[in-house]
Structures are given as structure tokens and as C-alpha cells.
Structure 1
Amino acid sequence: MTARAILLTGAAGVVGQALLAELTGRPVICLLRRGRLPAAGPEVVTGDISRPSFGLPPEVYESLTRRVGTVIHSAALTEWGRPAEDYEGVNIAGTRHVIDFARVAGASVHYISTAFVAALAGEAPVRLRPDNVTTNYVLSKRASELLLAESGVPHSVYRPTNLIGHSTTGWTSKPQIVQLVADWVGRGRAEVFPAHPGNLIDVVAQDLCAKAVAEAIRRDDVGRQFWLTYGKAAMTVDEAVELLIEHARSTGRRIRIPRIVHPADLDEAELNALPPSSRRFVQVLGDVSEVTAASGGILPSSMSELVEEYGLPEIGDKDAFRRSLLAAAN
């Protein structure tokens, strides 16, 4: 008997592309809102997770419910700084529609959330401000987690931290905030680098995230929550800045080391004197630092558990970060 298929939402995204490289042994059906995948291979169905029944004709939807036994839900609006209502349709209603589908199909759901939900626990002395650029996005991911928890549908939740490129090649289908900030620092445009004392810089290679999800599916392992982070083993802020300076020098640039300052100590006049793009980077870095501080400065981590239980490769975050920087520079 042929194994039931995996339905992958968000297949064209960074996590989706990484997942496609790791999913083997079972047919994969990609639900795309528009366009095509960069490479041929998996079956593609055009639909919209923000609409009931994914906006599909009844016969197509019914066919999918018969064929699919597992849903990987990675589709989401991930751009920060949008109004709360912008995240409602894709992130929250989309998860609700995935749950509806899974109930009919008798399928399990593997949900890609974010490690930033740790900032909502409220146990750290720093609280996430309502106007933090990430707040509405994080709240939407947490709301989706709660929908799954209350649904009764078998599921697991994966909470990756800031994504970087492939651990070996450094490649990514789309630069993320880490790569954008790295380029900004590496071009000597960073006068200051905002960070709360005690924060660690936690990044994870996209293929490591994908390997964890793929292995859980191979084992039919549900009912779990995985923090795809380095936790206490993550880089310090000083180490991350040193790596960025080292990379800049390797490309022939001689740049000044940015001053590391507490976000609350940023000088308004100095900020206003910066070019608009640099001012925006400083503000976003300050907000991301607040997320980590609100999470206790160090994110929870399941990395050692995944290495021991799932046999995930032990990939150093600094090495993976270096490779991402090199790939972005070429």
C-alpha cells in the first residue's frame, strides 16, 4: 500500500524549500497560493490557506483529504511590522483551515512556529512592548499554537530561531533578517549595535530545522514541542560582532567595530543623524534584542535532545553563520 502523502504549505518559502530537500520516501503535495516552485518535482496544487477548504473546488479538496496523512504547515506572513489584522488571514485563519482539513483527512499536523513566542511567557524582567516590530507577528504564531493545542488534532510544534543559510553551502532562497543585518554591518554602516546585557545571538541553519521536522515525520512522532535553537550554546553578542568584522576584513573591507549599547541608551539625536536605512536597522535590532531579553536572554533549546534522540548532525552555529556570510558575499 502506498504511504499517504504529505501536504506542505508554504513550499516556496525559506523553510518550505529546505523541507523539500529533506522529505524523502513519501509523496509530497505542495499547496501554493500562486506561482511555481523553483525546481520541478513535487505535485503542486494552487490554493489559498486563508480561505475555507483552501479555496479549492469540492472535488479537489475531497481528493486531498483522501490522499494526505500528514500536513506540514509552514505557510505564514513572516514580514514584521504589519498591523495585527494583516496576520489574521494567513497566520491564524490559515491554521484554522489546516486544522479543519486535518480533521477530515485524519492527518497529523507539524506546525512551524517561531522561537520568539518565548518572549510572551512574561517571566523575564523585560516585557515585549506592543509597538515592538515583531509583536503582532509573534502574537499570531502564538494564537496558531493555541488553536492547535485546543483542536484535538495530533500535532507537533517546531520553534526555530533566526534562520540563516544552509549549514554546508550557506545558500538560502531568500535573505533573512540575519543576512540583511550582517550585510549592513559588513559594509561599515553600523555605528551602534543595540543589545541587552546577557543576551545571546541565536541563529540556526535552515537545513537543520528541516531535518528535525523530516525526522519527526519519518518516526511518526507527534505531540512534541521542539525549540530549534542553540540556547546556552549560542553566540554572545561580542562573538557575533567579531564574526561580522572578521568577514568584512576577509572581503577587503576595513571597518570600525560598532559600539554595543543597551537599546534604552540609544541617543535620539544620534539616531536621527543616521541615514534612514541605518536608523531602521538599529531600531529593528533593538526590538529583536528586546524579544531575546523578554525570553530571559537565552532561548529554550531542544538541540541536544534532537542530536541524541533523532541523530541530527552537530552543527556549530558559528561555522554555519560564517558559511552564510560567505554565500551572501558571492
Structure 2
Amino acid sequence: MQTNVARTILLTGASGVIGRAVAEQLRPHRVIGLVHSDTSQPDVAEVLRSDLAEPRLGLSQWDWDRLADEVDAIVHSGALTEWGQPWPRYEAINIGGTRRVIELARAADAPVHYVSTCFVHAIERDELAKLGPDNVVRPYIRSKLDSERLLQDSGVAWNIHRPTNLVGDSRTGASSQPQIVQAMSDWFCRGKAPFFPAHKGNLVDVIPLDVTAIAIARGVLADDLGHIRWLTYGADAMTVAQAQEILVAHSARNWREIPRVPIIDPRLPLPVPLADIPATSRAFLKVLIDVSEVTHACGGVLPTSMRELVEGLDVPMPSDRDAYRRSLTYWTNVRNAARHKATIKEVA
């Protein structure tokens, strides 16, 4: 099929941050979105309630059979993405859900475009020994790589997309929900970080939401299958020092002067023991340490397919630094607007 021929595309996780952005990029094609809850419905042609952990994805037999007749391609974006959950939840939702998506793809004779994570590379490199036994990212990336392998062994046509951590739209900084990068950044900008944990050689690799969505959508419409595509900036990503400078400058623009803190390889003695740090900040530092461990296990500098995507699918590659700055500004403005509204309501 050619990209200018209208087609029907099933999108799991349609109410998620990536799902909504992909749906926008797939207009004017007919997108049927699977969602897990009734709240904040995505802007797609049809919405169906679904549960990835249930037989037939929680769909009725009638809907399952109808989708098998109508669907031309499946974008499998739905997953349990929260880190630190018990393994059985990842197994049921991420691996079980992928297994059911494969069943539907086989019935529909449709390719699957699977949204994974770049961090599976730590397992591919056989570097899990570099992760602490309680690393919160470990079970999640294991479930994603297991799902990739299910798909690759299924006989169904596929593409696999491996994005790094998201920031907002490269032009506006917007996303439907703040992501882990934003949560970590907000905490840092409150001046709570006693140090910045980062393994030597690690880069801070983030990707704008619109770039991620465009790469996935154009991969769907190109019908060029059998690829693993790394949605990362690779050697062009920020250094840790550059990321800290962006955070310090953002704080200064918002009337909060925060100090630059030492960048510490967490394998070395920490300047302040974690046990001596207040609980909330300790939790944030633990996540940063765990992400740093995974990035180090991936080689510190991630593989990237961006040059290939720019040349082959005309995917943009805007400045990751500018996208990061705009994301920080966007969510700061959202919070300020909410506070202003609450203040007006109290006065009234």
C-alpha cells in the first residue's frame, strides 16, 4: 500500500503520551484507539475499552472479529511503563498484551509496529551485572525485550521502535502528561539535589515527543518492515554538565537561584550517603542512579537511527537542548497557571 491510500490503523495505548501524538501524526487515516480507562479520551475515529492482560485484549468477540477484518496495521504503544512494579504485572500486561496483539495481527494479516525502549540494549549487551539488584528499571526493560522477541519470532511482519526518555514537543514543549525527565528536572530545580549521579561517559539522551511520533507514524505508512529503529540522539546527545546548565538557567529565569552541584559517578563514595538524605530526595536520587546504571550498561552513548530516519523518512532532528528547555518552560507555565487559577478561586 502507498502512503496516500487511506487505511485503518489500530493503536493500543491511544490515551498515552506517545499514543496521542502518534494518532495526531496518522491523520487523515482512520485510527481506532484502544484505551484502558474512560478518562481523557484520545482524538481518534473510534475508541474501544481494552485490557492488554485479558483474552482478546478485553474486547468482545464481535469487536475482535471486526478488527481482524478492518485493520491494515497495528501500532502497539500500550504498556505498563511505570518503573519499579512487580514482575507479574509486567509479564501480564507487557508480554501478555504483546502476545494478544500478535494474535490479532495474524488474524488481520497486518504488520505490528511495536513501541519498545532503548534501554533493552543493556540486556542485549549482556551487561545486567552492572545493574543493582533493586534497580527499578530492570523488570520493565526485561518485559520489553521479551515482547520484542515474541514479535520477531511470531511470523508477523514488524517494525520495532526504541525511543529514549521523552521530553515535550520540540516546538512548544507540550505533552499530554509530564514524563520521568520532567519529574526529575522539577525536583532538581527546587534545589533539592546534593549531587548529580552519573556514570563517567554517560550522555543525557532525550527525544522530543513530536520526533518520536513522526518517526513511528512514517514507519507505519512507509510499509518498510523488519527494522529496529533507535529513536535516540546517540553521540549528539547532551552531556550531563550541559543538562545541568539548562536546569540552572531555567531556575534562574523563574526567580529561583540554585547552585551547580558536583557530578558524581555513583560507583564512587557519595559526598552525602543516601541514608542521610531526606526520603523524597533520596527516592529521586535512587531513580537517577538506576537510570545512570542502565545507561552505562547500554554503553553510555546509545545507538541511534536518527540519521537514517532523517534521510529515509524525512523525520526532523531538532535540537534536543531546545526541546528540553521548552518542555521545562511549558510545564512551569502549566503549574503557574494552575496556581493563579486556584488563587483567584480562593479570593472569589
| TM bracket, shorter-chain basis | over 0.9
Aligned to 1:217: 220
Partner of 2:120: 117
- Say whether residues 1:131 and 2:151 are aligned partners: no
Contact persistence 1:126–1:293 (CA under 8 A):
no
Partner residue, 1:311: 314
Which residue in 2 is equivalent to 1:288? 291
Report matched runs for 1:238-249 at 5 Å.
238-249=241-252
Q: Provide the TM-score with structure 2 as the length reference.
A: 0.91
Q: Look up the equivalent residue of 1:137 and give its one-letter code.
A: Y
Change (3 A) 1:135 1:65: same
Contact between 1:124 and 1:296, CA under 8 Å: does it hold in 2?
A: no
Q: Tell me how far 1:36 sits from its aligned partner.
A: 4.2
1:27 paired residue among 26, 30, 46 = 30
Q: Once the 2 structures are TM-superposed, how far is the Cα of residue 176 of structure 1 from its aligned partner?
A: 1.1
1:12 is aligned to: 15
- In structure 2, C-alpha distance between the alignment counterparts of 1:132 and 1:56, rounded to whole Å: 35
Q: Is the 8 A contact 2:15 2:40 kept in 1?
A: yes
Q: Which runs of 5+ in 1 are unaligned?
A: none
State which drifts further: 264-273 or 93-102. 264-273
Residue in structure 1 matched with residue 239 of structure 2 by the alignment? 236
1:325 corresponds in structure 2 to 328
Matches within 5 A, 1:59-208: 59-122=62-125, 127-208=130-211
Q: Which runs of 5+ in 2 are unaligned?
A: 334-348
- The alignment partner of 1:263 has SS state of coil
User: In structure 2, do the counterparts of structure 1 residues 220 and 283 end up closer, same or farther at CA, with 3 Å as the change threshold?
Assistant: same
Q: TM-score scaled to structure 1, two decimals?
A: 0.96
CA distance in 2, matches of 1:120, 1:30: 31
The one-letter amino acid paired with 1:234 is A
In 2, the alpha carbon distance for the partners of 1:207 and 1:265 equals: 37
- Tell whether the 8 Å contact from 2:83 to 2:140 is kept in structure 1 after alignment: yes
SS in 1 for 2:150: helix
Deviation digits for residues 251-299 of structure 1, max 9, x if unmatched? 1111111211111235496322222110011111011001110011100
1:216-240 alpha-carbon deviations (Å, 9 max, x no partner): 1121121111000000000001111
Between the aligned partners of 2:109 and 2:128, the Cα distance in structure 1 is 43
More off after superposition, 114-123 vs 278-287: 114-123
Rate the CA distance shift 1:126–1:258 in 2: closer, same or farther, 3 A: farther
More divergent stretch after superposition (96-105 vs 23-32)? 23-32
My pick for the range that moved more, 150-159 or 59-68, is: 59-68
The offset of 1:122, in angstroms, is: 2.9
User: Which amino acid letter does the alignment assign opposite residue 133 of structure 1?
Assistant: V
8 Å contact from structure 1 (residues 193, 259) kept in 2:
yes
Conserved? CA contact 2:113–2:158, under 8 Å? yes
CA contact (8 A) 2:122 2:128 kept: no
Matches for 1:36-47 after TM superposition, within 5 Å? 36-47=39-50
Relative to structure 1, is the Cα distance of residues 125 and 173 closer, same or farther in structure 2, using a 3 angstrom cutoff? closer
On the 8 A contact 1:120/1:128 being kept in 2, the answer is no
Superimposed CA distance per residue, residues 173-229 of structure 1 (whole angstroms, 9 cap, x where no aligned partner): 111111011111111111111000110000001110100011111211211110000
Q: Given that residues 229 and 304 in structure 2 are in contact (C-alpha distance below 8 angstroms), is that contact kept between their aligned partners in structure 1?
A: yes
CA distance in structure 1 between the aligned counterparts of 2:260 and 2:197, rounded to whole angstroms: 13
